[in-house]
Amino acid sequence: MSLRAPKGTDDILPPVSRVWRRLLTTWETMAESYGYDLIMVPLFEQTEVFSRGVGESSEVVQKQMYTFEDKGGRSLTLRPEGTAGVVRAYIQAGGQGIMKVSYSGPMFRYERPQAGRRRQFYQVGLEYLGTSDPASDVEIIELGFRYLGAVGVPDVVVRLNSLGDPICRPQYTETLREWLEDRRSLLCPDSQETLDINPMRVLDCKACADVVAEAPSPVDSLCSPCEEHFAEVQAQLERAGVQYTLDPRLVRGLDYYTRTAFEYVGSALDSAQTAVGGGGRYDGLAEVLGGPATPGVGLALGIDRIVLSVPDQPEPALDVFVTNIDGRREEARGLLSDLRSKGFRADRLPDQRSLKAQFKAADRRDAQAVIVVGEEWESGQVVAKRLDDGSQDVIAYEEITTWLTSR
Ligand code: HAM
């Protein structure tokens, strides 16, 4: 039997990997332009980082973690998300002041695989630690929104809610528990169980959507500081031109959230996996992980889902493909090296292949142009051909750069 990638994992191969590269480079550029430094944390952590950080009552911790014992008898877990590890790192480094960081990499959750739901999936994310200024919530939401627009996810809407804080949440949870208790028999078996552990999570159950449609929302019970924070976030989002809708049922699947919670929803995916990203504020997380009280807000976007949502256009992988005939390989290699040193994305085939095979390769790689090093070389010229319209010129060697950039 041949060896295959594990269930729920993907090999990302060309040409689809070109879309990935574009998504990741755009991410790096945008995160940097908003002032986010790069952070890299381990792909696995002590299990406690997640069981405490993400929360024992979350589905992620209860059912989805890849937890194993290493040869030293330690319980480790492949990261199911990025936030808990980043906050652990912040605390370990001294836990002081503002830290704005971006990350990208694989996450691991044992889920039932389907399109847009993988066991190894790829997130890009941001964490903004050390302030509870609503402007930081807005900056995060805005960056995610602009990024999704820039890479071409259609019709992105931000769904926004506030989940309150340790002052107002307990009262709300009690109100909700009583409301749900009265309707216990209408809830699905899973939600009946969840109700005893974390009533708010019942709002997130797809099967119980009808039952909970009229349930009390956390926004109805906010204390005044939470209410002011939420109002300010909304006012600033409007000023920033970010389209959002209030979603009083949005609770998110991870336990660390306080106040702001949001998701990005696009139209291109089918109903089950519509969220291409999400995030929120987690002012209590650092303390839960044993650090000093530190407010924070962040987001993560799912690249696997974004790839499924953006237009399926092959990206031009190369500016130019260099070919040769009549054995002029040395000359072609020299030209290739020259073009690369000038910053063009350029390539050629190894070995001496027919011109037809070389053009075919150029096509497969979605090169925008082909240069033929042939007999014209003797008079200092090459044939230059554009692959989109088939137009062709004979140009002097010194003109190649201008010709390549002239359109
Ligand atoms: P999350 O909502 O669990 O949040 O995940 C964020 C995004 O990751 C989802 O919207 C989705 O696009 C993608 N995603 C999640 N699970 C899968 C999966 N099994 N397969 C494919 N894509 C998936 C977080 O992870 C938080 N750490 C976000 C955050 C950062 N909150 C504050 N800071």
Q: Determine how β-strand 157-162 pairs with β-strand 244-246.
A: parallel
Q: pLDDT tens for residues 111-163?
A: 999 999 999 999 999 999 999 999 999 999 999 999 999 999 999 999 999 99
Task: Please report the atom of ligand 1 found closest to the CA of residue 123.
Answer: 8
Q: How far apart are CA 200 and CA 191, in angstroms?
A: 10
Q: pLDDT tens for residues 169-206?
A: 999 999 999 999 999 999 999 999 989 988 999 998 88
Average pLDDT over residues 6-25: 95
Name which residue sits closest to atom 32 of ligand 1, judged by CA.
298
Count CA atoms within 13 Å of residue 118 on its CB side.
20
Smallest Cα–Cα separation from 11: which of 153, 120, 125, 124?
A: 120
- Specify whether the CB–CB gap between 237 and 144 falls below 8 A: no
**300 CA → ligand 1 middle, Å:** 6
Q: How far is CA 387 from the centre of its chain?
A: 33
Estimate the crossing angle of helix 169-181 against helix 189-197, to 10 degrees.
150
Name which residue sits closest to atom 30 of ligand 1, judged by CA.
299
Name which residue sits closest to atom 11 of ligand 1, judged by CA.
302
- Specify whether the CB–CB gap between 68 and 46 falls below 8 A: no
Task: Please report the atom of ligand 1 found closest to the CA of residue 109.
Answer: 19
Q: How far apart are CA 44 and CA 88, in angstroms?
A: 12
Task: Please report the atom of ligand 1 found closest to the CA of residue 254.
Answer: 3
Residue 49 clears pLDDT 70, i.e. is over it: yes
Q: How far apart are CA 48 and CA 38, in angstroms?
A: 24
Q: pLDDT tens for residues 283-336?
A: 999 999 999 999 999 999 999 999 999 987 767 789 999 999 989 999 999 999
Query: With pLDDT > 90 as the criterion, what percentage of the chain qualifies?
Result: 91
Q: How far apart are CA 273 and CA 266, in angstroms?
A: 10
Average pLDDT over residues 87-106: 97
3-class DSSP assignment, residue 351: coil
Q: How far apart are CA 109 and CA 65, in angstroms?
A: 6
Task: Please report the atom of ligand 1 found closest to the CA of residue 125.
Answer: 30
**344 CA → ligand 1 middle, Å:** 36
Dihedral angle, C-alpha 206, 210, 216, 217, nearest 10 °: 40
DSSP letter string over 277-327?
A: EEEEE-TTHHHHTTS----EEEEEEEHHHHHHHS--PPPP-EEEEEEE-TT
pTM, two decimal places: 0.94
DSSP letter string over 317-331?
A: -EEEEEEE-TT-HHH
User: What is the model's pLDDT at position 311?
Assistant: 85
Q: DSSP label at 313?
A: P
Cα distances (Å, whole numbers) of residue 325 to 13, 331, 361: 31, 10, 15
Q: Among 41, 59, 81, which residue has the most ligand 1 atoms within 8 Å of its CB, making it the best to mutate?
A: 81
- b (16+ CB within 10 A) / e for 149-162: eebbbeebbbbbbb
